[in-house]
Amino acid sequence: MNELNLTAVLPELLLAIGGMALLMLGVFRGNGSTRLVLWLTVGVFAVAFIMILVTMGRDEVALNRLFVADAFGDFMKLLALVGSAVTLIMSIRFIEREGMARFEYPVLILFATLGMLLMISANDMLSLYLGLELQSLSLYVVAAFRRDHLRSSEAGLKYFVLGALSSGMLLYGMSMVYGFAGTTSFEGLAGLMAQMNAADEAPPIGLIVGIVFLAAGLAFKVSAVPFHMWTPDVYEGAPTPVTAFFATAPKMAAMALIVRVMIEPFGDLVAQWQQIIWFVALASMVLGAVAAISQTNIKRLMAYSSIGHIGYALIGLAAGTEQGVQGILIYLTIYLVMNLGTFACILCMRQKDVMVEGIEDLKGLSKTNPGMAFALATFMFSMAGIPPLVGFFGKFYIFLAAIEAQLYVLAVAGVLSSVVAAFYYLRIVKLMYFDDPVEAFDRPIGREMTVIVACASLLILLTTVWFAPLGDGTAFAAASLFEG
């Protein structure tokens, strides 16, 4: 039992048992139980959140060393759980209006979140892949959940085909690493790399090829260039609450996974993989900034925006330092809050009970709905990284880590792409405040949406003036990754 150490995996066990129980509840009570199952799923997320918060700071392994529980993993799990819970709450009214109110929806979100938690705590290539596929299979179904809608079915199919390709690349990379290293354990790989480093031996070329394929497979999961092609179509075609989910929780888990894989087993080979991450980060920032300028659909704009934001976060990984990882954690926390708030506003874009997604539909919003316009303007200014809002601090810490690691080209490119990206964020603010109103959005927007939008904008403003708790928490989480 000591090797199993089930106390370290209690949140994951809770989600697994809760998912099976809720699945049975839905089967016996039918689709009339959707709202009940959804709120119970949120309750399961809340209990798991509290369990992780209470035990945060531990550093132990479980399940025969396939699973690790540390402060870095706990921090990222909290973000993933918040993203999943909030997007579920956001989707209640939407799925009922659009005829999607089936109990499988919240259960699929729950199993996807279970996969995310397993990914974040993976300590072996095998547990990494199992967690990744549990998440991915659930996401493929959720993307095409609105099965009577052509764009949703197309989004699910595109995501599945490209996801299968990336999984193949990931598995090929794992097999190469195993073939040349003789182990799939992160601890075993880290020990082997340290030995090579101490003996001043060059790593086998096959091992480097394996790491390249591994990085490519993981880059797909975070929708980084050049593995981003699925993102705009899936974001636009999937139901809007599903798009909000894709843009938040899975991004947290995938970024945590790529950071853990690169830093823990391959930390001593930073000189070999740094150039891959360097290129991916640069390409993602540039494409995210330039491609979004011509977009007229706000969900596609958010897709390219997310590609750009992942590029900024990857700068911290390219640095390969504790400061860089802290910058990633700060950036992802701010990114999560900004995206949840923005997608809550997008879900409120309804005219005559029909969803609208055009950026032009936001014209004059400050006159027809000043509260929503103020909140959305706050999110846009923060995403653009305009001081003094907290989005500026996210980019500041990332660029600081790049400069400390002497990655001057990345830092300069990041600043320049931020300036370009500011155009399309500020264009939305300009439309809301300086253009004449078009048809007003439906009112009221619903109690859940009001609370989410208000809380997200309040968090952005509060963190701007009281940044210390976020800075201290991320420093502690980043340190645990390097101590382990």
pLDDT tens digits, 4-17: 778 888 999 999 99
Share of the chain above pLDDT 70, in %: 99
pLDDT digits (tens, 9 = 90+) for 427-478: 999 998 988 887 778 777 788 888 999 999 999 988 888 888 888 888 998 8
Q: Which of 386, 302, 296 is nearest to 347 (CA)?
A: 302
pLDDT value at 329 more than 90: yes
Q: Is 354 helix (H, G, I), strand (E, B) or coil?
A: strand
Strand partners of residue 124: 185
pLDDT digits (tens, 9 = 90+) for 200-249: 788 888 889 999 999 999 998 888 888 888 888 888 888 889 999 999 99
Q: Which of 332, 325, 394, 331 is nearest to 70 (CA)?
A: 325
pLDDT value at 1 more than 50: no
Which pLDDT score is estimated for 464?
A: 83
Which pLDDT score is estimated for 482?
A: 81
Residue type, 2: N
pLDDT digits (tens, 9 = 90+) for 274-284: 889 999 999 99
At residue 116 the predicted structure's pLDDT band, cuts being 50, 70 and 90, is very high
Which pLDDT score is estimated for 398?
A: 92
Which pLDDT score is estimated for 381?
A: 92
Which pLDDT score is estimated for 484?
A: 54
**Strand 60-62 and strand 67-69: pairing?**
antiparallel
Q: Higher model confidence: residue 331 or residue 200?
A: 331
At residue 348 the predicted structure's pLDDT band, cuts being 50, 70 and 90, is confident
pLDDT value at 112 more than 80: yes
Torsion angles phi and psi, residue 6, rounded to 5: -65, -20
Which pLDDT score is estimated for 85?
A: 95
> For the chain, how big is the Rg over CA atoms in Å?
22
Mean pLDDT across 40-57? 92
Residue type, 453: V
DSSP letter for 439, please: S
Mean pLDDT across 112-128? 92
Which pLDDT score is estimated for 3?
A: 65
Strand partners of residue 62: 67
Q: Is the dihedral of CA 87, 92, 94, 99 positive or negative?
A: positive
Contacts of 177 (CB under 8 A, 6+ apart): 125, 184, 189, 207, 210, 211, 214
Mean pLDDT across 54-72? 86
Q: What ranges in 199-321 are assigned the alpha helix state H? A: 205-221, 231-237, 240-246, 249-263, 270-291, 298-319
pLDDT value at 111 more than 90: yes
- pTM of the full predicted structure? 0.92
**Strand 350-351 and strand 67-69: pairing?**
unpaired
Residue type, 284: S
| Measured distance CA(241)–CA(346) in Å, rounded | 9
Mean pLDDT across 342-367? 86
Give the H or E element holding residue 332: helix 322-347
Mean pLDDT across 24-40? 89
Which stretch of 59-63, 158-162, 422-426 has the lowest confidence by average pLDDT? Answer: 59-63
Torsion angles phi and psi, residue 251, rounded to 5: -65, -40
Q: Is 412 helix (H, G, I), strand (E, B) or coil?
A: helix
Share of the chain above pLDDT 90, in %: 48
Mean pLDDT of the chain: 89
pLDDT value at 418 more than 60: yes
Which pLDDT score is estimated for 65?
A: 84
Strand partners of residue 185: 124
At residue 2 the predicted structure's pLDDT band, cuts being 50, 70 and 90, is very low
